[in-house]
Amino acid sequence: MLYKLIFRLIFSRMDPEKAHHLGMFVIRFSSKLQLTKLLPKINTHNVNVLGESFRGYFGLAAGFDKNAIAVKAFGELGFSHIEIGTVTALAQAGNPRPRLFRLKEDRALINRMGFNNDGAEVVAKRLEKLRNSSDILPVIGVNIGKSKVVELADAANDYRTSARLLAPWSDYLAVNVSSPNTPGLRDLQSVTALRPILNAVLEESLDKPVLVKIAPDLADEDIVAIAELAKELKLAGVIATNTTISRSDLKAAVREVESYGAGGLSGAPLDSRSLEVLRLLRTKLSKEFVIISVGGVETQDQVLERIKAGANLVQGYTGFIYFGPLWARKLNRI
């Protein structure tokens, strides 16, 4: 109740990106003062996946902590794993602002951030320092994407650079070819374009698990083709799904939605399609392949539904904005 009041009176009146930076500052500062360590321990399952022991099924999806600046703090807030990024080989500022918008009625966000991040070399050094500390850390996944200035034809080498720099400090690597905010990126989801990228990442992975993250907007036959490619290349699994370019069945006024322009939609409206993609993938991938389900998850019941449908792990992002800092603790209390 307190967070809802704070959100309504403060965060909801701020520019969403400024509110995000303020929230990140508060989270990091609270951890530095060891306030997050005062939170009571939660009873949850230890989940053995990807060769790691996760303290619960539910983790933070990529996009929230792009530069690995609050990994420890998010772990203390109850996330079993943190997927940082998306990180690109070259540092980049991302798209012009404004580039993040709230659809409050839908408990959704529209973003066209454009992979703004400090670049693989800087993030790798930050992760190295974190790993060499004595801090208790959650499982850390590193989500990597294509640098905007790199041509699609050179994408494999660009991903290779990021993988080489970041693999030593990651627990798993996630290959992001499904953001709608980098021109042409989703074209890399075709099996022909995807194969050399995944091979390059696998060669630099140091045998860390490699997963591919896909969009909810793919046709079912393309999802099946990616599942077959995952089996062929012996990937660890698939992360499903990224944001959507769809704007169907939203409660927000059409004029409002159109005024925000292009970008990926995340949050509650993705629930149905994300669950469909999960179920389809699980029919094509045996139990040895990991599926991380993300998109529209807000409640414990939804986490359990995803696990029963075949997910090994579940992630969220937008729910953190609408439900507050204790949200992950509630969802991992199963």
All residues at 6 or more sequence positions from 14 whose CB lies less than 8 Å from its CB, including other chains: 22
**Cα–Cα distance, 132 to 111 (Å, whole number):** 34
Catalytic residue among 31, 147, 178, 179: 179
**Cα–Cα distance, 272 to 311 (Å, whole number):** 15
- AA identity, residue 125: K
Going by C-alpha positions, the residue among 181, 180, 184, 210 that lies closest to residue 195 is 210
What angle (nearest 5°) sits at the alpha carbon of residue 266, between those of residues 334 and 6?
Answer: 70
Going by C-alpha positions, the residue among 180, 158, 216 that lies closest to residue 99 is 180
Is residue 179 among the annotated active site residues?
yes
**Cα–Cα distance, 209 to 50 (Å, whole number):** 6
Residue pair 102/22 in contact (Cβ under 8 Å)? The answer is no
- What is the Cα Rg of the chain in Å? 18
Residue bearing tokens 């937008």: 318
- Concatenate the DSSP letters of all residues of 157-195 into one string: HHHHHHHHHHGGG-SEEEEE---TTSTTGGGGGSHHHHH
Residue bearing tokens 């709608």: 180
Note the Cα 222 to chain centre separation in Å.
21
All residues at 6 or more sequence positions from 333 whose CB lies less than 8 Å from its CB, including other chains: 42, 43, 44, 300
Residue bearing tokens 């409002």: 256
Q: Which residues are part of the catalytic machinery?
A: 179
